[in-house]
């Protein structure tokens, strides 16, 4: 089962994924895997992450991300899903739509490209909706801010708007997306996420 977490930088994805992993493993007595296409330390993503930060425009970023996504799928994700493992993933197509989408890279084209490349549709996607002000306040306390963290407010607002539009687009295309209030306490968010994951597991097993 592929479960994806999406949201603005500062929305709390990393903390939520880690707590959810620990609680799921304890509650269901199963192994839960966490992964990311553009993680900081994984062999498949270190170079791609650096290249995205250095890219000159959204098209260059997109090309790098699609290459990284295919490498991650072929080298990591495909085997885990084939073995019926539970995978919690930090960012996927919704983030691509929000950060790389533009006048020449439409949501519809990105969805179609995803399908043409044979990439999987998540069983569940959680979009952590957070006001821009709160996201920017949280990022002020990050010890190692990235280029994306330091963007001006108007770009954060644009990305937030695109996340909302991309969420609707994916829902219309049949993706199972749940919108969560990322200002809720972490433990409460994790409980909600786990309840929805268990519901989805029951539907798949039925």
pLDDT band (50, 70, 90) for residue 127? very high
The per-residue pLDDT for 48 is 80
Three-state DSSP class for residue 158: helix
Q: Kindly tell me if the per-residue pLDDT of 147 is higher than 60.
A: no
Q: Domains for the chain: give ranges and CATH numbers.
A: 2-36+86-205 (3.40.50.300)
Give this prediction's pTM. 0.92
Q: Sheet holding 32-36: strands in order across?
A: 32-36, 86-90, 2-7, 124-129, 177-181
pLDDT band (50, 70, 90) for residue 148? low
pLDDT band (50, 70, 90) for residue 104? confident
Three-state DSSP class for residue 155: helix
Q: Are 65 and 38 in contact (CB under 8 A)?
A: yes
């Amino acid at each position: 089962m592929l479960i994806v977490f999406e949201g603005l930088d500062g929305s709390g994805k990393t903390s939520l994924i880690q707590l959810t992993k620990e609680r799921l493993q304890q509650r269901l007595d199963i192994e839960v895997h966490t992964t990311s296409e553009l993680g900081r330390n994984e062999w498949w993503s270190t170079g791609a992450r650096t290249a995205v930060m250095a890219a000159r425009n959204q098209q260059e970023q997109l090309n790098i991300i699609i290459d990284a996504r295919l490498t991650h799928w072929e080298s990591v994700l495909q085997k885990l899903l084939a073995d019926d493992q539970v995978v919690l993933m930090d960012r996927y197509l919704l983030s691509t739509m929000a950060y790389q989408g533009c006048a020449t890279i439409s949501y519809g084209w990105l969805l179609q490209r995803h399908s043409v490349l044979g990439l999987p549709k998540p069983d569940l996607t959680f979009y952590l909706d957070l006001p821009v002000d709160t996201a920017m306040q949280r990022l002020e306390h990050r010890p190692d801010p990235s280029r994306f963290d330091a963007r001006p407010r108007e770009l954060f607002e644009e990305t937030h708007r695109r996340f909302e539009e991309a969420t609707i687009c994916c829902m219309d295309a049949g993706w199972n997306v749940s919108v969560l209030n990322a200002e809720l306490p972490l433990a409460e968010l994790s409980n909600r996420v786990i309840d929805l994951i268990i519901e989805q597991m029951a539907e798949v097993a039925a």
